Amino acid sequence: MKEMKKIINSPQDVVPEMVDGLVRSYPEYLKQIPETEAVVRSDQASMKGKVGLVSGGGSGHEPTHAGFVGKGMLSAAVCGQVFTSPTPDQIYAAIKAVNQGKGVFLVIKNYSGDVMNFEMARDMAEMDGIAVKEIIVDDDIAVENSLYTQGKRGVAGTVLMHKLLGAAADQGASLDELETLAKKALPHISTIAVALSAATVPEVGKPGFELADDEIEYGVGIHSEPGYRREKIKPSKELVAELLSKIDEVQHLDATHQYALLINGMGATPLMEQYIFSHDVLNKLAEKNITPVFTKVGNYMTSIDMAGISLTIFELAEQKWLEYLNYPVATVAW
Amino acid sequence: MKEMKKIINSPQDVVPEMVDGLVRSYPEYLKQIPETEAVVRSDQASMKGKVGLVSGGGSGHEPTHAGFVGKGMLSAAVCGQVFTSPTPDQIYAAIKAVNQGKGVFLVIKNYSGDVMNFEMARDMAEMDGIAVKEIIVDDDIAVENSLYTQGKRGVAGTVLMHKLLGAAADQGASLDELETLAKKALPHISTIAVALSAATVPEVGKPGFELADDEIEYGVGIHSEPGYRREKIKPSKELVAELLSKIDEVQHLDATHQYALLINGMGATPLMEQYIFSHDVLNKLAEKNITPVFTKVGNYMTSIDMAGISLTIFELAEQKWLEYLNYPVATVAW
């Protein structure tokens, strides 16, 4: 087992130092709520009279979620310990900080800890008279039920949900309208990943699982949760064929529909590989006469230093959704 | 020695497939010049009547350079084979493609192959009556002369040069004005890196050098060129102290000046570590009462899958330079 080799100070200081570094690097977008690891827009004026949009979860998925805080996207993000849900009081602090009297909408990834803590914070807010609604994102089609999860996991598609809801909120959508939009879009977002190596949580000091030097695992989660099959590494186009066939089973990809594509590096995967993977995805979709109308390639929902990649397909069932994806934002990472 | 484990098809197809994947993922910004690995803005109208700005070099540094092609930044980028200069005919094709009669300015990283090939392309263009000027970027202060280099190497600071010149060109600066700006800014840009592991060139199949599991190397280049010292890995704040002291020797950091800061991941370094490093840089600068007026943290000038980080300090000797850094752009990666 390899020693941990990381640019950190001490494992227990990872989250506070990281959040501090991020916020102080980008004061034009972000500020920290005192005595929390929650981050809100520094451009408070852009939230005036609008529904607040709050997300968050365990750290280790940078730039998610704090990198998506800013005008046109999230109002706040709450950063838990690495791979650990933030506590209800921190989430509640974020809800209060962004509440403008129009209510607050929560984007929660489907992990037991996150769901429990966000809903506890929701209860606290409602007792204070703040209207709160939520969506629980479960876009990972790889496996049902997993470590920390009942049902499917919430992964990279969450970033598309942030984008959609952020644009709608910025355009003045009500709390109910955001809920309707989120529920309508969610089943059209499907993600699946392949891992070449596991993440090393700093406090643990060794990778979450071991793969042989020539081995990959399909369907791995963003916390090193097990996937559905291990095999020898294959050329990119065969990885694409496998992952896309799984999405096709769920989405029934069809040239009469419009699609957005998100290709996501897991933290240690060079853009070189991500662009090659994208080349193969676009070729494979072209065989079905599909050309995505929107594509993003890069590190959006990472798993610390995992080598691997995820593929998200979002069927744009409504024209408005494409406008939301293209809506201008002011964030660190979109 | 570990086996190469990459999401690719075959090593010789890496560059064409990567460029194709990038361009087809982002048709709103990029298009490829037929029969080349050169990429130009798809928004040709934004170049009208302006000096063209062309950069490029070996591939393996993604998103550099093609990710910085777009309105307000580069007009074109030429992608060589991995860690290998593009050929003069490809560079010449890019110069011709962006020439609007106002001349073309070249941003060249200081490597013998790049300098030779870009200058050969310049000669070809000049014989065709296209006025061409250039800057050779050599911002890496770690070592004098190196593999492939006479003098200092051109590294992450090149991206700041793209940004500066791109903003000025978009505002209508002449070829001479761009040259003056580039020459004036260059000595104020200093970069230095630390590596935790080396890059693996796909055609080579093994890392460019070996470091022990607990070892780092200061001053490594973006093609795995040797640095100036190896030692046991240290806490982030000690890495920062070492690198910043080297920059201080050159720049004489001083609270009466304004600085921009670029913290750059080398490809396999998670943002978690980059933000912690940033936290430590900002703290160390604060000891000198310096708060940078502009900061960027992320993967800008990578070295394939190297784990490591570089620190660039840019002294903003003119107020205009900060405006250039903040000038809006439409690119994949800025």
First to last CA, chain A: 35
Hey, what are A272's tokens?
């070189």
Q: How high is the pLDDT of residue B171?
A: 98
Chain A residue with the nearest C-alpha to that of B8 = A236
Give the list of residues 6+ apart from residue B227 with CB closer than 8 angstroms, or none.
B142, B143, B193, B194, B195, B217, B218, B219, B220, B221
pLDDT at A223 over 50: yes
Cα–Cα distance between A128 and A99 in angstroms, integer? 11
A268 contacts B307? CB cut-off 8 A: yes
Angle separating helix axes A14-25 and B271-287, nearest 10 degrees = 70
Q: How confident is the model at residue B147 (pLDDT cuts 50, 70, 90)?
A: confident
| Weakest mean pLDDT among A57-66, A160-169, A282-291, B138-147 | B138-147
**Angle at which helices A157-170 and A175-185 cross, to 10°:** 150
Report CB contact under 8 Å: A22, B269. Answer: no
Indicate the pTM of the whole model.
Answer: 0.97
Per-residue pLDDT tens digits for A50-78: 999 999 999 999 999 999 999 999 999 99
Across the A:B interface, residue pairs with CB atoms under 8 Å apart total 189
Scanning A154-173 for CB atoms below 8 A from B yields none
pLDDT in tens, B217-272: 999 999 999 999 999 999 999 999 999 999 999 999 999 999 999 999 999 999 99
Kindly report, residue by residue over B287-311, the tens digit of the pLDDT. 999 999 999 999 999 999 999 999 9
Distance CA B263, CA B249 (A): 19
Contact B272 A20 (CB under 8 A): no
B278 in contact with A, Cβ within 8 Å: yes
Task: Confirm if A269 and A300 have CB atoms less than 8 A apart.
Answer: no
pLDDT score, position B3: 65
Instruction: Find, in chain A, the residue whose alpha carbon is nearest to that of B238.
Output: A9
SS3 B328: coil
Of all residues in chain A, the percent with pLDDT exceeding 70 is 99
Residue A2, pLDDT above cutoff 70: no
CA distance B176 to chain A (A): 33
For chain A, the residue count is 334
Torsion B179-B183-B189-B191 (CA) sign: positive
Asked if B189 contacts B160 with a C-beta cutoff of 8 angstroms, the reply is yes
Structure tokens at B164: 């500066």
Its sign, for the CA torsion B101, B107, B110, B111, is: negative
pLDDT in tens, B45-76: 999 999 999 999 999 999 999 999 999 999 99
pLDDT, residue B1, reads: 45
Q: Rounded to an integer, what distance in angstroms lies between the CA atom of residue A95 and that of residue B256?
A: 40
- Would residue A188 show up in a list of annotated catalytic residues for this protein? no
Domains belonging to chain B, first-starting first, are 11-187 (3.40.50.10440), 188-326 (3.30.1180.20)
Calpha distance B83→B185 (Å, rounded): 26
Q: What is the pLDDT of residue B135?
A: 98
- Chain A residue numbers with beta carbons less than 8 Å from the beta carbon of B19 are 275
Query: Looking at beta carbons, which residues of chain B come within 8 Å of A262?
Result: none
Chosen from B272, B310, B327 to mutate, greatest number of chain A CBs within 10 A: B272
pLDDT over 60 (residue A246): yes
A210 CB neighbours in chain B (<8 A) are: none
- The chain-wide mean pLDDT, for chain B, equals 97
Among the partner residues A197, A236, A309, nearest to B9 by beta-carbon distance = A236
A-proximal residues of B, 305-324, CB under 8 Å: 305, 307, 309
Res A148: pLDDT: 78
Provide the percentage of residues in chain B whose pLDDT is more than 70. 99
B252 touches chain A (CB under 8 A): no
What's the gap in Å between the CA of B125 and the closest CA on chain A?
30
Q: Above 80 in pLDDT, residue A147?
A: no
Is residue B2's pLDDT more than 70?
no
Angstrom distance (rounded) from CA B66 to CA B63:
6
Chain A residues within 8 A of B304 when measuring between CB atoms: 270, 272
- Of the listed ranges B148-157, B229-238, B271-280, the one predicted with least confidence: B148-157
At what angle are helices B157-170 and B175-185 packed, to 10 degrees? 150
Give me the helices (H) in chain A, please: 14-25, 88-98, 112-127, 157-170, 175-185, 236-251, 271-286, 319-326
Does residue B205 belong to the interface with chain A, where contact is any CB pair within 8 Å? no
**C-alpha–C-alpha distance, residues B165 and B107, integer Å:** 9
Reference A293, options A261, A252, A317; nearest CA is: A261
Partners of A302 on chain B (C-beta within 8 Å) are 270-271
Distance between CA atoms of A29 and A67, rounded to whole angstroms? 9
Paired tokens of A316: 């744009």
| Mean pLDDT within A263-268 | 98
Determine, for residues A270 and B273 on separate chains, whether the beta-carbon distance falls below 8 Å.
Answer: no
> Does A323 have pLDDT greater than 70?
yes
Report H helices in chain B.
14-25, 88-98, 112-127, 157-170, 175-185, 236-251, 271-287, 319-326
- Whether residue B282 and residue A21 make contact (CB cut-off 8 A), yes or no, is yes
Residue B18 and residue A275 in contact, taking contact as beta carbons nearer than 8 Å: yes
Concatenated DSSP letters of A15-26: HHHHHHHHHHH-
B184 pLDDT above the threshold of 70:
yes
Q: Are A8 and B236 in contact (CB under 8 A)?
A: yes
Are B165 and B107 a contacting pair, CB within 8 Å? yes
Which residues lie across from A132 on neighbouring strands? A104
Residue A271 to residue B302, Cβ atoms within 8 A: yes
pLDDT of A42 above 90: yes
Interchain proximity B295–A235, CB inside 8 Å? no
Q: How many residues does chain B have?
A: 334
Q: Distance between CA B28 and CA B57 in Å, rounded? A: 23
Q: How far, in Å, are A48, A202, B36, B220 from residue A131 at the CA level? A: 16, 37, 56, 54
Residue matched to tokens 């970033």:
A159
Output the pLDDT for position A3.
65
Query: How far B19 CA sits from the closest chain A CA (Å)?
Result: 7
Question: What is d(CA A37, CA A86) in angstroms, rounded to the nearest whole number?
Answer: 9
Does the annotation mark B61 as catalytic? yes
- Give the residue carrying structure tokens 């643990």: A204
Mean pLDDT value across chain A: 97
Cβ neighbour number for residue B319 with a 10 Å cutoff = 9
Q: Do A213 and B276 touch (CB under 8 A)?
A: no
pLDDT digits (tens, 9 = 90+) for B69-110: 999 999 999 999 999 999 999 999 999 999 999 999 999 999
Query: In chain B, which residue's Cα lies nearest the Cα of A196?
Result: B5
Q: Residues of B with CB below 8 A from A25's CB?
A: 261, 263, 275, 278, 282, 295-297
Q: Give which of A230, A141, A223, A178 is closest to A52, Cα–Cα.
A: A178
CA distance A101 to chain B (A): 33
pLDDT at B146 over 80: no
pLDDT at A1: 45
Is ipTM strictly over 0.90? yes
